[in-house]
Amino acid sequence: MAQAKITFADIGQTVNVPAGTRIIEISEKIGAGIIYGCREGDCGTCMMHVEEGWHNLTEPSVLEEKVLRENMAGRHDRLACQAQILGDCTIQPA
Give the nearest distance from C-beta 5 to another protein in angstroms.
7
What whole-number distance in Å separates Cα of residue 28 and Cα of residue 13? 12
Among 10-18, 50-58, 76-84, the segment contacting another protein (CB under 8 A): 10-18
**Does the CA dihedral 4-15-34-28 come out positive or negative?**
positive
Give the nearest distance from C-beta 86 to another protein in angstroms.
14
Q: Which of 43, 49, 77, 86 binds another protein (CB under 8 A)?
A: 43
Q: Which of 23, 48, 50, 67 binds another protein (CB under 8 A)?
A: 67
**Does the CA dihedral 41-46-50-56 come out positive or negative?**
negative
